[in-house]
Amino acid sequence: MAQYDLTNKIGQYLDRHLVAPLLEFLAAQSTYNTQEVLQSKLDLLSETKMMDYVIDVFKKLHSNEEVPPKYLEKRIIVVEEYKQVQENSKAISAILESPDLPEQIQNSRDFRQLVDYLIKNHNFKTEMIDQIYDYAKLYYECGDYSTASQYLNLHNELVPTTDKNYLSGLWGKLACNILLHQWDYGVEDFEKLKNFIDEESFRNSLQTLQQRTWLLHWGLYLYFNHAKGWDLLLDLLSNNAKYLNVIQTTCPHILRYWATTVIISKHSRHSNAMKELIQVIQQESYTYKDPITEFIECLHVNFDFDGAQKKLKECEIVLSNDFFLVNCYDLFMEHARLMIFETFCRIHQCISIGMLAEKLDMVPDKAERWIVNLIRNARLDAKLDSKLGHVVMGVHAVSPYQQIIGKSEYLCMKSQVLANSAARKLGDKTYAYDF
């Protein structure tokens, strides 16, 4: 199982606080030695100011030992810092609690107008802007993500996008909402970050690549927790050379999550996603592969149904031991079997239920009930002959007219995307079409 674990690769691109949930998950699995995982968790958290958490992990790791003085002393210092910040930030907390603040933020033309309003009505001073960021950072380090999020939100409203702390504030806000499981706000922060990264001119292309790599990884929490998280990932990668280049350059392991999303997603507007995915999987097979990507390759490239069945069994292990995918297990298996079935049906018009059950890794009775449910739910155009134990497929020939319409719609959409991209680069805010 350890050979399929991506925690080490993913953790390189996450904040320490975001890695902690991954280690908690690993500690509950049998992938690694529990003591080793707890030690990694202790080393990770020791660099933060969540000292109660650190001490708790130490006690689990060394139940018969006294807590080292360095942890107890640091806890005293952190508690004092936290109390001092609470005292010093009372004026800012009062502003945040002001009932008229949300409306004023919404109605302000820009950050200058909001700053002027706070100066006139809340005894605000411009030097407090940097203090808000510093206070937010301390709250975050202490694990008070809710307060940190409020402070970062205010800070980002009070500074221009060129401010030295603006980008860090966006990252911090996203981390807070992820850790608070506020997925809707997290998606909003994700989109703000994406737009800023795509539009900002960093000093060199390496910085842009780094920012996009982080975004892909931090987004994993959203892709598999938000109600529309799958669309978020598919929209990010669909015909997007910038982010496909990121995957191929720095993190081909993201292919696991892209492949899973393509398999479990039902939305027709991503009908070309599988073609794009297969192309990248083939290109990157020498740098990264796992049972999920190999399953797709077996099924859609080699039409190797025995190989696909074997890889599907291995996928069960991967899904059960992946922090982000564990909740997708049932849905993935259902859709993966359906993919095998649909691909098999394109080749054969009359299929033995016994043979089909073998390909789907199901007992014949269960396979027959599964097929009956597909027919009843209009997901399958077929007839079932129980006496002969056969499934007879219906024949659907797509008319040339429908083929032309489908390709024309796709070309129209791509043309609009290119037109919008050109308009943005030319500074024209009136785009050809608002997606």
The DSSP secondary-structure symbol of 395 reads -
Give 312-339 pLDDT, tens digit per residue. Answer: 999 999 999 999 999 999 999 989 988 8
pLDDT value for 58: 94
Contacts for 210 with CB less than 8 Å, ≥ 6 apart: none
Residue 418 clears pLDDT 90, i.e. is over it: no
Which 3 state secondary structure label does DSSP give 130?
A: helix
Q: Give residue-wise pLDDT tens across range 152-182.
A: 999 999 999 899 999 999 999 999 999 999 9
Identify the pLDDT of residue 101: 87
Range in 85-89, 209-213, 350-354, 407-411 with the lowest mean pLDDT: 407-411
Q: What percent of the chain has pLDDT over 90?
A: 54
pLDDT, position 187: 95
Phi-psi region of 389 (alpha: psi -120 to 50; beta: other; left: phi over 0): left
- Asked whether the predicted pLDDT for residue 96 surpasses 60, the reply is yes
- Pick the residue with more confidence: 417 or 161? 161
Read off the pLDDT of each residue in 81-90 and give the average, rounded to a whole number: 93
> What is the share, in percent, of the chain residues with pLDDT greater than 70?
83
Query: In this predicted structure, what is the pLDDT of residue 369?
Result: 78
Q: Is the pLDDT of residue 301 over 80?
A: yes
Q: What is residue 339's predicted lDDT score, i.e. its pLDDT?
A: 84
Higher pLDDT pick, 18 / 353: 18
Distances (CA, A) of 298 to 47, 102, 123, 314, 365: 44, 54, 67, 13, 26
Question: What pLDDT score was predicted for residue 110?
Answer: 84
Average of per-residue pLDDT across 351-377: 73
- In this structure, the chain runs to a length of 435
- What's the whole-model pTM score? 0.82
Q: Is the pLDDT of residue 4 over 70?
A: yes
Chain position carrying tokens 């107890």: 72
Residue-level pLDDT at 106? 84
pLDDT at 85: 94
For the cut 70, the answer to whether the pLDDT of residue 109 exceeds it is yes
Predicted confidence band of residue 435 (pLDDT cuts 50, 70, 90): very low
CB atoms within 10 A of CB 249: 11
pLDDT averaged over the chain? Answer: 85
Cα distances (angstroms) measured from residue 122 to each of 31, 44, 47, 90, 118? 54, 40, 36, 12, 5
Task: Say if residues 115 and 158 touch (Cβ distance below 8 Å).
Answer: yes
Which residues lie closer than 8 Å to 429 by C-beta, 6 or more apart?
423
**CB distance 27 to 41 below 8 Å:** yes
**Model confidence at 215, in pLDDT bands (50, 70, 90)?**
very high
Q: What angle is formed at CA 234 by the lines to CA 405 and CA 22, rounded to 5 degrees?
A: 165
Rounded Cα distance, 137 and 41, in Å: 21
77 pLDDT band, cuts 50/70/90, is very high
d(CA 23, CA 38) in angstroms, rounded, equals 8
Q: What is the pLDDT of residue 430?
A: 38
pLDDT surpasses 60 at 429: no
Q: Give the residue-averaged pLDDT of 247-253.
A: 94
Stretch 305-318: mean pLDDT: 91
pLDDT computed for residue 272 by the predictor: 79
Looking at residue 433, what is its pLDDT?
A: 34
Q: What does each C-alpha distance from 176 to 17, 179, 213, 271 come to in angstroms?
A: 9, 5, 19, 34
Per-residue confidence (pLDDT) for residue 417, from 0 to 100: 57
Confidence tier at 352 by pLDDT (50, 70, 90): confident
Q: What is the pLDDT of residue 431?
A: 35
Decide: residue 429, CB within 10 A, 0-12 exposed, 13-18 middle, 19+ buried: exposed
